Amino acid sequence: MIYWGPVAAVGTAVGMLGYAWMTIPYIGGWMVLGIGCVGSVLFRRSLFLYVTVTILAMAIGMLRMGQVGDAYGKEWENRFGKPLQVMGTILEKRASYIDERGSMVTYIMQAEKVGIGREVPYASGNGGNIYVTLPSSPRIGIGSTVQVAGVLRPLTYTMNPGTYDRFHKDRERNIVGRLRVKKIADMQLLQNGKGRRYYVQRVRETLYHRFCRVLPTEKARILSSLLFGGHYDELPPALIRQFAATGLIHILSVSGSHMALLFAALQVIGRRLGWPQRVRFIFLVGIVCTYGALSEFAAPVVRSLIMGLISAYGVVLKRRYMGCQALGIAIAGMLLYNPFMVFDLSFRLSCGASAGILLWYSKFQFILQRFPSFLRESLALCASAQILVMPLVLASFQALPVYSFIANLLVAPVLDLVILLGLGSVITGSIWTPLGDIFLYPLQWLLTWAIQGNACLAAFPYSRYWHGALSVTTAAAWYIAAGAVFLKKRQGYIAAGLSSVVWVSGQMVAWLTVPAITVYSFDFGRDSAVCAVTADNRVRLWYNKENFSSREDISYTVIPALQYEGIFALDACTVSGKDTKNTARQLAPYLTAGKVRQCFGRPPGCTVFSGRQPYYLSWGRKEDRFPAGACVEVFKADKTEFFTMPEGVCAWIVHCPYKGREACAAWKQAAAYKGVYCFAPATDGRVRMTYVRNRWLWETYKGARE
């Protein structure tokens, strides 16, 4: 069984996803485990053993996800809405912003003791973490122990495909709630920084200041991110956009490529010094674990760290190293440690790219055997890394870098050399600072060349291929075609034909069911957005802004949600609510012609679609008159009386920016009493409505269809 490791990893991930998405009962995991145990006794053939391993892994994944999911936030449920005194340690700084109370900073705090009301904290926080928002002055350092007072609130999330998955990320970090300190008197600094995170931050700050001895401030920050990741808010936004356009954004965060480079360099150094294998292994473990700690043990770092240590230990034991087995062990072990990591985008991309290289690299090497070796290896590495992650990249970023291969051929080797020189400066500088500075002088020239070369590639026309998320049939056809290369010639042709049939069938169904109009109603917290796409691909957006504190959120909330649906340009746009001028400024670059229309107060409603069942958009004015049989969407439904709900409405889509989910629930109850459909993006997530054959079809983010 050569591939038992990858099979176990895939089975574990499938079991966890199945438990999370399908709400499988906890007893189901034990049933599947029993089936797997019986199968392992009855069947001895290779195929049946693979099936048995998959079933066992699925069962273990389901049980582990059920165990962790049921325990998440259990002890905090009865503390929401109550004034608390919380004592804990600051783990991480998340964001800073300015609102009506002044400059505020949000931290992640590990709650160690909790007290109700004004009593001294005494009860254990059970290791849960919370978001704490504090005044920016006085400055609180990482690792500091503080005591804060405030009301604990539950976490709320927006539910739009294509946007950042904060729901599962908070569960991965065991973040259970949020607390806001309104005045400085409610905050006490009990002890300055301590612990691993504090010392890691101190080391990183010391290294940054050492880099500044030779490098300009901006380049010192870039080098710090290249070596250790993080602190992206300190990098120029244009630089991040350029690296994203060329497909080298992963180099700015510590990934498997960094660890592979470090492993290779340390192995060469150990061999040159003539050290025995065991001494080399101990030296390797110490260096890479220290580097992993400085990189804050990000998911890709841990994955590559485990794989590298397995490989190095295999050399010590004189065992054959199998990359697939090491990858499977790393994935399964990390998922069992933290099941919510299965939703982590960086973890998925790292594992998918590694699996693609292990499975397809040699295939591409054979296909490209007529090319020169340096070109063949670079092209094979770049292409194989994209095979498994391409649908995921389109779903998450809605773009593919066109010049990725050229950037990996010309810019990436220079950045690898920059990383090696930077690590050399760190190691030698810890012995004698001037010795470390010697590495920084050639590094500065190479870093400048790499940044300018990358910017030049990013400035080329058509540097990105923009595309929305792939349909299920297209993604299935892609993976079937990718797997065909592992089959025998005849079976490969059959798989390629099946891939074509699946793709053509999906395209035919989409062509036969083209809607007259598609309306998307998005969930953006207190903000609301409605986007209508007609059959001739004319797009109009209505955006109502009620959250004044999040002024610069268009680029990472609205735009990704639109681009996930394949919407990259707007033919018309209307903004209303608060701060319309700033909102219009952010949306203007996506408008093909004209200007963004700004509305003040509560403008009169408008008809989005005229048909047998019209679609009407209202801002909650009592004077609005709805067409008979219409679908009605209300932007400010929390200020509308439910008992005045008019007759003859086909369906309601309501946004309640002030009264929230309670008002949405009241709307749904009133609509159910009258036998009318009612959807609320705040509770259902993004609602997608299509008008096909004179009737409306509804689909929500949570999968409900009507």
Q: Quick: pLDDT tens for 577-592.
A: 888 888 888 888 888 8
Rounded Cα–Cα distance for residues 167 and 69 (Å): 13
Q: Which of 78, 87, 82, 36 is nearest to 61 (CA)?
A: 36
**Range list of H helices, 43-76:** 46-71
Q: How does strand 517-524 pair with strand 572-577?
A: unpaired
The pLDDT value recorded for residue 517 is 92
Residue at 617: amino acid letter: L
Phi, psi for residue 94 in degrees, rounded to 5: -100, -50
Q: Could you count the other beta carbons within 10 Å of the beta carbon of residue 263?
A: 20
Q: Looking at residues 160-170, what average pLDDT do you find?
A: 88
How far is it, in rounded angstroms, from Cα 13 to Cα 343?
Answer: 10
Residue 527 has pLDDT above 70, yes or no: yes
3-state secondary structure of 147: strand
* Token pair in block for residue 441: 């002088």
- The pLDDT value given to residue 289: 85
DSSP state, 311?
A: H
Task: Look up residue 81 and give its DSSP letter.
Answer: T
Instruction: Give the number of C-alpha atoms closer than 13 A to the C-alpha of residue 475, restricted to the C-beta side.
Output: 13
Q: Extract the tokens encoding 91.
A: 């783990």
Tell me what the mean pLDDT of segment 288-307 comes to: 81
pLDDT at residue 234 is higher than 70? yes
**Above 50 in pLDDT, residue 643?**
no
DSSP string, 151-175: EEE-------TTS--HHHHHHHTTE
As given in the structure block, the two tokens for residue 12 are: 């574990």
**Residue 260: both structure tokens together:** 């592979």
Alpha carbon of residue 591 to chain centroid: 27
What per-residue confidence (pLDDT) applies to 456?
A: 93
- φ, ψ for residue 330, nearest 5 deg: -65, -45
- Confidence band, pLDDT 50/70/90 cuts, at residue 689: very high
Residue 382 has a pLDDT of: 86
